[in-house]
Amino acid sequence: MLSLGGSVLLPEIDKPFLNPYVEVLSKLSEKFRLFVVVGGGGTARRYIALAKSIGADDAFSDELGIQVTRLNAMLLMGALGNKAYPEIVRDYTHALCAAETGKIIVMGGVIPGQTTDAVAAVLAERVKASLFVNLTAVDGIYSEDPRIEPKARKFEFMTPSDLLKIIVTQQAIAGVNTVMDILAVKIVERSRIPLFVMDGRKPELLIDALEKEEYVGTIVSYDGKNSLPSLIK
């Protein structure tokens, strides 16, 4: 289960980061059954800001953001060609059914008020994923936002409860972007599916992480295993 940030896949609308992901996902799909949930990124945030400027409520703004995530997902689906299921799935049951084709399943948001990280966490639970990977704009989980505090501590391994404590603390600070939202982390905690947070700007590292003992990122797991290959066997 991959949660792919919109700002990673499309840092700018005219500078897409599609080709590296097409190569990596295509290769991984030969060995793993893949589900990819794509975020809205900066484009969704701009649309939501515009909606609020004309007086739209939060529910409408969320719906608008969901449409953007699905546009981003459709772009990735198109780039993957026949490797991907040829439709953006819109709910978890549809994802389960579509997965029987053996194709890469790509989707965006589902319901208002739920981030795509939370969507990915629920989908990981629904499909009984062996691993949940969060591909974001940082290279792991830190004690503080490393973009603000250079001395922030990076974690190589932690439990879901450890992560939840960090998220709650960070979200209490105005203007700080956390690596995942509370709902997503709570779902990770209850499902007991191992989570791996890594730098999505270097997708080639995902292949090494899944096939070798070496990885760059943070593993969140209950059982104390610190090797991704051992977690997904």
pLDDT digits (tens, 9 = 90+) for 154-165: 999 999 999 998
Q: What is the pLDDT of residue 14?
A: 78
Average pLDDT over residues 29-35: 95
Higher pLDDT: 21 or 181? It is 21
Task: Evaluate if residue 174 carries a pLDDT over 50.
Answer: no
If asked whether residues 46 and 118 sit together in one domain, one would say yes
What is the percent of the chain with per-residue pLDDT over 70, rounded to a whole number? 91
If asked whether residues 8 and 120 sit together in one domain, one would say yes
CATH code (residue 218): 3.40.1160.10
Compute the distance between CA of residue 45 and CA of residue 42 in angstroms, rounded to an integer: 5
Domain residues for 135?
A: 131-233
Q: What is the pLDDT of residue 175?
A: 37
Average pLDDT over residues 34-44: 94
Compute the distance between CA of residue 77 and CA of residue 221 in angstroms, rounded to an integer: 30
pLDDT digits (tens, 9 = 90+) for 95-140: 999 999 999 999 999 999 889 999 999 999 999 999 999 999 889 9
If asked whether residues 114 and 142 sit together in one domain, one would say no
If asked whether residues 146 and 74 sit together in one domain, one would say no
DSSP 89: B
If asked whether residues 167 and 208 sit together in one domain, one would say yes
- Of 106, 129, 152, the domain-final residue: 129
If asked whether residues 12 and 112 sit together in one domain, one would say yes
Task: Evaluate if residue 171 carries a pLDDT over 50.
Answer: yes
Q: What are the distances in angstroms from CA 208 to CA 71, 197, 202, 204? A: 29, 14, 11, 7
